Structure 1
Amino acid sequence: MKVLIAANALLLILFPLSWFAPLMRAGLLPLFGLNEISLWSGIASLWQTDVLLALVVIIFAIIAPIAKTLGLLLVQLRIMAPTALPLIGVLGKFAMADVFLIALYIVLAKGAGFGRVEPAWGLYLFTATILASLCLSIATARSLRH
């Protein structure tokens, strides 16, 4: 269980890092440089044009993953009852929805042929943290059953 706790605590560092890491590079024309877009810069841009959508992204990409990670840590430390694991799993599904939306955006932008969009290392980091969190949830549930 100590390894699971340490790995889960590491996610509390990796999630904020992934929010500021470049998710994608985008540009209108191949001749010009590409702008790096992070989750945080995307939210800031959305906030100026569509506050409701910015709030949805904040909930799915920031609040849900951190709440899930903190909840799982509380269960691992036996501060919260293991009966909370199903709710923690739901938070993980909300967090995974954001990864899907980012990937969908990249596919749509590439398919439209309007400009250029490339995934950046932050997208892989964010995806890996979400998937690691999912694996830690499963491992914690199994560990608590035994």
Structure 2
Amino acid sequence: MWIKYANLTLLVLFPIAWFAPLMRAGLLPLFGLNEISVMSGLQSLWGTDVILALLVTVFALFAPYLKTIGLALIHFRMASPRLLPALGWLGKLAMADIFLIAIYVVVVKGVGLARIEVAWGLYLFSACILASLVLSILTPIKRGG
């Protein structure tokens, strides 16, 4: 069953996406751009806003990874398929992080004082979240036995 191996691939791809550049940002077009990843953003947040850092940690790290592990346990029959609805909620939390990033990009670009370029890590992170959602939808629910 290809679904379980595709899901296991996400266990490798998620950490890569966390360290990959989500965007490059800088003040005004005159200055150089700094790369921002999930991890570098979290490091900055922990120093300034602990509550927001906790939320982002849950949305960006724990929710997608726990969902992937839970789905793997179901695929390898180490957990009940009845766990799928709870994993769906974890997937929704992970999607919230992508929407927040998109909103920040739109707001900062609209202000015009900063320059933001979306980087490949945002596409990788988004693809991982979407792949996880698709894999959970495609996971068959076996009743009885």
TM-score, length of structure 2 as denominator length:
0.96
Give the drift of 1:144: 3.0
- Paired residues in the alignment total 143
Give the drift of 1:54: 0.4
CA distance, structure 2, for counterparts of residue 19 and residue 79 of structure 1: 27
In structure 2, the partner of 1:48 is 47
In structure 1, the partner of 2:26 is 27
TM-score, length of structure 1 as denominator length:
0.95
Q: After TM superposition, which residue ranges in structure 1, 4 or more long, deviate above 3 angstroms?
A: none
Give the drift of 1:69: 0.3
Aligned-pair identity in percent equals: 62
**Residues 95-106 of structure 1 aligned to structure 2 (within 5 Å):** 95-106=94-105
Residue identity matched to 2:20:
A
Query: CA contact under 8 A between 2:81 and 2:142: conserved in structure 1?
Result: no
In structure 1, the partner of 2:106 is 107
Residue identity matched to 2:51:
L
In structure 2, the partner of 1:84 is 83
Q: Give RMSD over aligned pairs.
A: 1.0
SS of match in other structure, 2:141: helix
In structure 1, the partner of 2:128 is 129
Structure 1 regions of 5+ residues with no counterpart? none
Give the drift of 1:108: 0.3
1:144 to 119, 141, 145: 141
Give the drift of 1:145: 4.9
**Residues 56-67 of structure 1 aligned to structure 2 (within 5 Å):** 56-67=55-66
CA distance, structure 1, for counterparts of residue 141 and residue 45 of structure 2: 41
In structure 2, the partner of 1:4 is 3
Structure 2 regions of 5+ residues with no counterpart? none
SS of match in other structure, 1:27: strand
SS of match in other structure, 1:78: coil
Query: CA contact under 8 A between 2:67 and 2:90: conserved in structure 1?
Result: yes
| Cα deviation 1:78-116 (Å, max 9, x = unaligned) | 110001100000000000000000010000000111210
CA distance, structure 1, for counterparts of residue 87 and residue 19 of structure 2: 24
CA distance, structure 2, for counterparts of residue 36 and residue 15 of structure 1: 18
Residue identity matched to 2:141:
L
CA distance, structure 2, for counterparts of residue 109 and residue 69 of structure 1: 32
CA distance, structure 1, for counterparts of residue 113 and residue 60 of structure 2: 26
